[in-house]
Structure formats: structure tokens, C-alpha cells
């Protein structure tokens, strides 16, 4: 971007997926570039958040790809697109059309930048149709070139020995010490040394891997090891995803593939386990005893209006949790009267909190239906509200932004989590009880939470079990837990792109499934369960 206005002035445009990111780019990157490059600074006539005007009349505009008007405005000869895999379906095509006036002279240029992306979508296909160049470095033993390739199944060069502790768990520190590169040419072992790694990168070269490319479109892959990342730290991250017990592993793996390895994530259908994980205990034992590892019991409720004249009713789930997040189902079922429901929950071992601890209540009720009435229940019984949201279809993340200051006077971090910050809901909206109080509630990210619930049910994370007599005291439970599946669905205004999503199976009853989904959200909120997909950055 700095080279272009100095050496080949042209009408230019820089795009990010939203205006907020555009503004941050201008403030933290572009202005720093202007100040650091004398030749560029000398060319600038005027510079604002929205554009830089140059002495010769050319310009660089800064635009958000989410605005339709910004995708279809003045002609541009040079277009820079940052993280274009995040753009709405069809947006890339509209932006690219802004160079049509230069098709005759054929001197236009489009530069797309991205940390990986989704296989099969526009950005990935543009990369696949290009030269697909990889960066190679010389071996310190034989001098032959090799690529920093990760996947061992496809010629990857990284090796390590998994060393375990006496209890059988992986010793990450000792395992990291064994990490090395095995040269594919001479089998020589190359251990990490920052100086040697930097020298190898400086002596490296680009190699095209797509023999069918015509050369007009060049594409490159640059994993984190080329800029100098320590492969030992990456191996630890990789093993924690593959062998750890935290939830959110699928989302964490997606982040590693895309943002660290700069590769394309391929979504696949999930093979769902139909059998429930049965524990060696009964409901009666859980109601009359405290599990020896138990620290708390949480209750979640789904409030339903009823159908076929059934009347309003409640479905509920109570789970007992150990400190490490392992859990046992203690009770569940269907109840028609709210006072009886509260008594049933308390009888199942859930502790009632006082008004001072209301926000930390171990009971959460779905507040999507009759919200004012639900908040009345929350005030009456010291419950909290909870509701699921299907968020961020195009990026399939949907996490909520939290701003966290870890210590007084310290920096503020933006933390992305699968549950929202606490909100306050007004009691009795539209009724005579309106304005009589406020109840705490949170939203959860359905897609992320349902991924975690799948991981728990399938034994891929923590221990998550149900009583051995579940079919006797709650015959609906098994069917409800099979009410959602993850399938390929179309999204975008014209349905031009696919994405795998958790959706309900037809008109199946899913109330206990929703309760278990809310259990995951409450366990995350209570820090009983760790979320590997949670990310943070300094604001």
C-alpha cells in the first residue's frame, strides 16, 4: 500500500469487513506507515480516517465491506481486501467489479489478505486458482530446501515424543523439549534456535505448487513459523486441543488451522453418538446423597406455552458438578406449576441464594417466552434468566464481547466468550407489575454451546453422565437429546454459500436438550468448565 502511491499512483481502496476494523487499521497501521516512510509522507496532501489524498490527485479510500454503497462506488485500479473470507456472500464480487473501467488497459490489481478462511468459499477458491506458492527454507545439514509443513499425514516436517507423567497425563513441558524438524531430504534433526530460524527464513524462497495457474493470479501461504514463531509453543497448543479435557475444542482447532497455519478450514458433518453416557448411580441416590467430588448443583429450566390444550409448563434439569467440570445428572422432568418446580429444584440439592447473590444464582430459566413473567419468577425465587441466540451466521463464531480489566489500573482486554455479559431485565413488562424490579439474565451463543454439548455427550471432553434409571423416571430425555443435528445449510441473502449449523430436527421436542444447553452456559459462567475457544486481545 505504501509502495503503490509512491511508485505507481492510482485510485485505490482498502477494505475490511466492517468500519470499526477500518478505523483501527488507519489509526494503528496506516498512520504509523505514513510517519515512518518519508517518500510516502511527501506524497500526501491530506489524510483522514476515510481517505488519503495524494499530491498528484490520486487517492486511497478506506471502506467497510458491509456497506453496499461502499462496494459499488467510484472506479478503483488497485484494491486491497483484508480478511475477505469474512465478507458477506457476494460482497467480494461487487468490490472486484469496481475495477471494470481498467479491464481494457488490464493494469488493475487486487490484493487479498487473510488468515486462512473457509474451504470452498470465495477467498479460498481465489487462492486455489492462483499459483499457491509456499515458502521454503534451506536445511542446516544438507542445504536442500523444505517447507514448514505441519500435517504429518501429508509430508509434515515437525516431530515430537509424547512424554507422560506418573498419573498418565501428558507432561507438556517435557514433551515440548523433544520438538524438532525432520528434514524430508536428509532426515537431519533441526531443533529450534531463533537465530538459526531467522537466518533460514532470510535465505528462503517462494515455490509455486499449482502447475495449472496461468500466472496472472499469484497466491501465497505463510504459516506462523516463517515470521519466527516457536514450534514448541505451537505443539503444546495443538496437543492441548487434541488431548485436553476442556470444551470448545472444535472452535479452537478451527482457529489454529486458519490463524496459525494460514490454511483453509473444511467443515464436515459430525457423526453423532446416539447412546447416552450412563453413570453407575441412580436418580434416587443423587437425590439422597452428595457426590464425593461435588461442589455445586445447577438447575436450568425451559418455560413452554404448551400445545393441544396442554397449558403452560416447565421442563427442568439439575446437574451436580465437580470442581474440574465433570458432571452428573441428578434430576429432570416436566412440571406444570412454578411453586412446585421451585420446591422440586430445592429438593434436588440446589441451594437458594439471597438478594445480594441474585446475579450468581445456580438456577437459570429460559426468558425467550413471556419475558416479563419470567423476570417475575426470577425476582420471586432468586433465579436468573437465560436465552439462546443464533448469532453471526457468516462467520460461524457468534461469541459475545466482554471488556475485562484483570487488575486495577491495568490494561483492558476484549474477551470473546460464548455467553454475554450480565444484563438486567424489567419485571412485568406490559402488566401492572411493570417497573417493580429488575432481574439478571444472560444470552448464550447457540452454535458454540451446542458444539460443547456434543463434545460432552460424546465423551470427547469432561465426564458427563446420566443416571442408570433415566428411562424409568424421564422417558422423554433420550428423544429430546436427539432433537438437534449439525447439517449443511445455505446462508446469505441469496443462499449462495453453505455452512454447517446445529438445527432442530423437524418438529421434534427439544426442551430437555435446551435445558442441557443452558447447563453448559451456566457452567461456563460459573467457571466450572474451561472454554478453549475463548480468545482475548488488549483493547
What's the CA gap between 39 and 6, in Å, rounded? 7
Q: Over the stretch 248-289, which tens digit does the pLDDT of each residue have?
A: 888 888 888 888 888 888 877 766 667 899 999 999 999 999
Summarize the confidence of residues 458-480 as an average pLDDT: 94
Mean pLDDT over 204-229 rounds to: 91
Angle at which helices 511-525 and 446-457 cross, to 10°: 100
Q: Give me the mean pLDDT over the 49-58 stretch.
A: 93
Measured CA to CA in angstroms, residue 65 lies from 23, 73, 79, 89, 101 at distances of 13, 12, 12, 11, 20
The 10s digit of each residue's pLDDT in 439-467 is 999 999 999 999 999 999 988 889 999 99
| Percentage, residues of the chain above pLDDT 70 | 94
Q: From the CB of residue 52, how many other CB atoms can be counted at a distance below 10 Å?
A: 24
Tens-digit pLDDT profile for residues 136-156: 999 999 999 999 998 766 779
**247 pLDDT higher than 90:** no
Query: Looking at residue 272, what is its pLDDT?
Result: 67
Q: What is the DSSP code (8-state) at residue 356?
A: G
- Mean pLDDT for 374-399 is 83
Q: Is the pLDDT of residue 487 over 80?
A: yes
Residue 397 has pLDDT above 80, yes or no: no
Q: What is the 3-state secondary structure (H, E, C) of 67-108?
A: CHHHHCCCCCCEEEEECHHHCCCCHHHHHHHHHHHHCCCCCC
Q: Say what the pLDDT of residue 159 is.
A: 94
Judged against a pLDDT cut of 90, whether residue 326 lies above it is answered with yes
**0.75 cut: is pTM over it?**
yes
Average pLDDT, the chain: 89
| Rounded (to 5) percent helix, strand, coil in the chain | 30, 25, 40
pLDDT band at residue 499, thresholds of 50, 70 and 90? Answer: confident
pLDDT-derived band at 425 (thresholds 50, 70, 90) equals: confident
Closest listed residue to residue 108, CA positions, set 122, 89, 95 = 95
Q: What is the CATH number of domain 3-114?
A: 3.40.50.300
Residue 414 has pLDDT above 90, yes or no: no
pLDDT at 497 over 80: no
- Look-up: residue for cell 496506516? 30
Q: 382 and 361 in contact (C-beta within 8 Å)?
A: yes
Three cell numbers at 246?
476442556
Higher pLDDT, 428 or 41: 41
* Residues in contact with 124: Cβ distance below 8 Å, sequence separation at least 6, in sequence order: 85, 117, 118, 264
> Considering only CA atoms, which of 239, 353, 255 is closest in space to residue 296?
353
**Predicted local distance difference test score (pLDDT) of residue 320:** 98
pLDDT class for 408, splitting at 50, 70, 90? confident
Decide: 522 and 364 in contact? Cβ < 8 Å: yes
Cα end-to-end distance, the chain, whole Å = 25
For position 120, what pLDDT does the model report?
82
Predicted pLDDT at 392: 59
More reliable by pLDDT, 268 or 223:
223
11 Cβ contact list (under 8 Å, min separation 6): 58, 59, 74, 75, 76, 77, 78
List, in sequence order, every residue forming a beta bridge with 146; answer none if it has no partner.
Answer: 137
pLDDT exceeds cutoff 90 at 383: yes
Residue with more model confidence, 434 or 240: 240
Q: What is the pLDDT of residue 154?
A: 75
HEC per residue, 229-289 = CCHHHHHHHHHHHHHCCCECHHHHHHHHHHHHCCCEECCCCCCCCCCCCECCCCHHHHHHC
Determine contact, residues 362/353, Cβ cutoff 8 Å. Answer: yes
Return d(Cα 147, Cα 46) in angstroms, integer: 44
Region 21-50: mean pLDDT is 92
Burial of 449 (0-12, 13-18, 19+ CB in 10 A): buried
CA distance 16 to 112: 10
Residue 170 predicted with pLDDT over 50: yes
Q: What is the pLDDT of residue 396?
A: 45
Cβ contacts of 309 within 8 Å, gap of 6 or more:
none
* Mean pLDDT along residues 287-302: 97
Instruction: Compute the half-sphere exposure of residue 99: CA atoms within 13 Å on the CB side of its CA.
Output: 20
- The sheet with strand 412-417 has its strands ordered as 400-405, 412-417, 535-538
Query: Residue 374 pLDDT > 80, yes or no?
Result: yes
Amino acid at each position: 500500500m505504501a509502495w503503490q502511491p509512491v511508485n505507481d499512483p492510482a485510485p485505490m481502496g482498502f477494505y475490511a469487513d466492517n468500519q470499526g476494523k477500518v478505523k483501527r487499521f488507519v489509526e494503528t497501521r496506516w498512520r504509523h506507515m505514513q510517519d515512518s516512510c518519508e517518500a510516502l509522507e511527501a506524497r500526501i496532501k491530506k489524510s483522514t480516517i476515510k481517505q488519503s489524498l495524494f499530491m498528484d490527485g490520486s487517492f486511497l479510500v478506506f471502506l467497510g465491506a458491509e456497506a453496499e454503497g461502499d462496494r459499488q462506488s467510484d472506479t478503483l485500479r488497485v484494491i486491497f481486501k483484508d480478511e475477505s473470507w469474512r465478507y458477506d456472500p457476494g460482497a467480494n464480487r461487487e468490490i472486484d467489479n469496481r475495477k471494470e473501467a481498467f479491464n481494457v488497459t488490464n493494469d488493475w490489481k487486487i490484493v487479498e489478505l487473510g488468515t486462512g478462511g473457509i474451504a470452498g468459499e470465495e477467498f479460498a477458491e481465489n487462492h486455489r486458482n492462483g499459483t499457491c506458492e509456499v515458502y521454503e527454507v534451506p536445511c542446516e545439514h544438507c542445504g536442500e530446501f523444505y517447507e514448514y509443513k505441519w500435517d504429518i499425514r501429508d509430508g509434515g516436517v515437525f516431530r515430537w515424543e509424547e512424554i507422560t507423567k506418573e498419573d498418565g497425563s501428558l507432561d507438556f513441558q517435557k514433551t515440548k523439549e523433544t520438538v524438532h524438524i525432520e528434514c524430508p531430504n536428509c532426515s537431519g534433526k533441526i531443533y529450534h534456535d531463533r537465530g538459526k530460524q531467522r537466518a533460514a527464513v532470510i535465505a528462503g524462497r517462494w515455490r509455486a505448487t499449482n502447475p495449472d495457474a496461468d500466472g496472472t493470479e499469484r497466491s501465497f501461504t505463510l504459516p506462523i513459523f516463517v515470521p519466527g514463531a516457536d514450534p514448541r509453543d505451537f505443539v503444546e497448543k495443538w496437543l492441548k486441543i487434541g488431548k485436553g479435557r476442556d470444551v470448545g475444542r472444535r472452535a479452537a482447532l478451527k482457529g489454529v488451522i486458519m490463524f496459525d497455519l494460514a490454511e483453509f478450514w473444511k467443515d464436515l458433518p459430525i457423526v453423532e453418538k446416539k447412546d447416552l453416557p450412563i453413570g453407575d448411580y441412580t436418580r434416587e441416590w443423587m437425590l439422597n446423597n452428595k457426590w464425593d467430588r461435588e461442589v455445586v448443583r445447577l438447575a436450568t429450566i425451559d418455560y413452554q406455552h404448551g400445545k393441544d390444550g396442554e397449558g403452560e409448563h416447565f421442563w427442568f434439569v439439575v446437574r451436580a458438578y465437580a470442581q474440574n467440570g465433570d458432571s452428573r445428572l441428578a434430576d429432570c422432568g416436566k412440571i406444570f406449576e412454578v411453586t412446585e418446580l421451585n420446591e422440586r429444584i430445592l429438593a434436588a440439592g440446589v441451594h437458594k441464594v439471597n438478594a445480594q447473590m441474585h446475579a450468581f444464582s445456580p438456577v437459570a430459566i429460559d426468558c425467550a417466552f413471556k419475558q416479563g413473567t419470567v423476570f417475575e419468577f426470577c425476582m420471586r425465587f432468586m433465579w436468573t434468566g437465560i436465552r439462546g441466540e443464533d448469532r453471526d451466521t457468516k462467520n460461524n463464531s457468534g461469541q459475545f464481547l466482554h471488556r475485562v480489566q484483570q487488575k486495577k489500573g491495568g490494561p483492558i482486554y476484549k474477551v470473546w466468550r460464548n455467553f454475554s455479559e450480565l444484563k438486567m431485565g424489567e419485571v412485568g413488562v406490559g402488566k401492572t407489575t411493570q417497573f417493580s424490579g429488575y432481574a439478571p439474565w444472560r444470552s448464550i451463543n447457540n452454535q458454540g454451546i451446542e458444539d460443547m454439548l456434543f463434545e460432552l455427550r460424546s465423551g470427547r471432553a469432561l465426564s458427563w453422565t446420566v443416571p442408570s434409571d433415566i428411562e424409568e423416571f424421564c422417558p422423554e430425555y433420550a428423544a429430546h437429546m436427539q432433537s438437534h443435528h449439525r447439517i449443511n445449510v445455505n446462508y446469505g441473502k441469496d443462499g449462495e454459500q453453505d455452512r454447517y449449523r446445529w438445527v432442530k430436527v423437524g418438529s421434534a421436542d427439544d426442551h430437555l436438550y435446551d435445558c442441557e444447553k443452558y447447563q453448559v452456559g451456566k457452567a461456563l459462567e460459573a467457571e466450572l468448565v474451561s472454554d478453549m475457544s475463548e480468545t482475548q486481545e488488549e483493547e
